[in-house]
Chains A and B, each alone.
Chain A
């Protein structure tokens, strides 16, 4: 079941990329669909990571909300960085802190790490076991719990529903 779902998602994603890259005449669509099926059939053992995505209405809704939460954070982080850069005194207080994640799925963790990198003042440096090591441009909290609350909590709520 999990394998079938990941192969199905793989075909959908590959076909969507094909449609966007080429025009939509009939031969192109048939050829692209056939290629997508072939690739998904050949590499189905590598695609199982996509099986972490849950396909129910609640998770799809959360995906849409997550995109907007993410874009908002990206905008905030850019304003934050811009203000630091144009300030002549360069107000930074950097350091590497350790935070704990409760996500289990590898794909979910990858998405979380990428989101952390693009949100205000944080950059994922290393992942070990359940811990992320994060370079924080303005360290305001000294212990693991405080840093976890400040950096990962607001994403985990959505990602737990989407990836489990």
Chain B
């Protein structure tokens, strides 16, 4: 049981690490958010599940569960708020982008 937990934790930490690497390597703020949000969410969930599996005797699995649900619910919300703010503030997409419907619609006044 403890070994299973530790392997799940290791998987989670590798996912967290790849997310951090994605934040470091991606070219603009929106792509960084993509890598950051997804990887940190799954990474944290796996990490916490692994840690609580490895230490069953403390009777605080409820708190871990609350923490997991909370992170699953709030992580996308905060990145959505930040992406919207960044776009409203006029932070540009990277040059490799192919299209930007939101900018086009804001200029024509369709997205009101």
Contacts and interface: CB of A to CB of B under 8 A. Distances in A.
Interface of A: 17, 19-21, 23, 74-75, 77-78, 81-82, 84-86, 90, 92-98, 113-114, 117-118, 121-126, 128, 131, 133, 135, 137, 139, 142
B109 to A, nearest CB: 11
B102 A121 contact: no
Interface string B44-79: 000000000000000100110110000011011101
A95 B97 contact: yes
Contact of B98 (A17, A81, A95, A114): A95
Interface residues of B, number: 48
A102 B18 CA distance: 35
Interface of chain B, main secondary structure = helix
Given A78-B42, A126-B111, A96 B100 contact: yes
A17 to B, nearest CB: 6
B22 A81 contact: yes
Contact of A17 (B66, B100, B103): B66
B99 A82 contact: no
Contact of B38 (A17, A21, A81, A128): A81
Given A118-B41, A124-B80, A133 B33 contact: no
A83 to B, nearest CB: 9
A97 B42 contact: no
Contact of B31 (A17, A77, A92, A131): A92
Contacts of A137: 31, 34
B18 A95 contact: no
Contact of B41 (A19, A74, A95, A96): A74
Contacts of B65: 20
A135 B37 contact: no
B39 interface: yes
Interface of B: 15, 18-19, 21-22, 25-28, 30-31, 33-35, 37-39, 41-43, 59, 62-63, 65-66, 72-73, 75-77, 79-80, 83-84, 87, 93-94, 96-103, 105, 111-112
A77 B38 contact: yes
A82 B39 contact: yes
B99 to A, nearest CB: 4
Given A20-B62, A20-B66, A125-B80, A135 B38 contact: no
Contacts of B21: 85-86
